[in-house]
Amino acid sequence: MADHERLICPSGALVESGKGVRFEVEYFGEAGPAFVIRKNGKAYGYLNRCAHVAMELDWQEGVFFDSDGRDLLCSTHGAAYDPASGRCLGGPCNGSPLVRLRIQERDGMIYFTGFEDD
Ligand code: FES
């Protein structure tokens, strides 16, 4: 599914293991929530939809990381995901990953450029 490149936010809006920035993407013809976070200096983006039940992950708006800032944690039943790959690390996601977005960072800005499996 090709999508056009879209500016999401300035790089400075994404703090290491901090709050994510939410935005909307079109996914299979429907608007859906998505987010970007920063981990190990790199920006990663995912559909904001748990692999367990199609619920948004954040605890409060933009809060995706666990209290250690290590994993992404679903606020509904506690599924844990690797921030750098979206892989399920444990809990009710039961091996299913998050839907990963292609994110580019350049010239101090974060862009969404499509889905990883395009
Ligand atoms: S909806 Fe995310 S763990 Fe159940």
pLDDT at 1: 46
pTM listed for this prediction: 0.94
CA 29 to chain centre: 19
Tens digits of pLDDT across the chain (118 residues): 445 799 999 999 999 999 999 999 999 999 999 999 999 999 999 999 999 999 999 999 999 999 999 999 999 999 999 999 999 999 999 999 999 999 999 999 999 999 987 5
**Gap from CA of 2 to ligand 1 centroid (Å):** 28
Q: Spell out the domains of the chain, with CATH numbers in brackets.
A: 6-115 (2.102.10.10)
**Gap from CA of 4 to ligand 1 centroid (Å):** 30
Pocket test for ligand 1, best of 74, 96, 98 (most atoms within 8 A of CB): 74
Lateral strand order in the sheet of 42-47: 6-10, 109-115, 100-106, 42-47, 30-39, 21-27
Relative to the CA of 91, which ligand 1 atom is closest? 3
pLDDT at 117: 74
Decide: 89 in ligand 1 pocket, CB within 6 A: no
Decide: 76 in ligand 1 pocket, CB within 6 A: yes
pLDDT at 71: 98
CB 34 within 8 A of CB 101: yes
pLDDT at 3: 52
Decide: 59 in ligand 1 pocket, CB within 6 A: no
**Gap from CA of 5 to ligand 1 centroid (Å):** 30
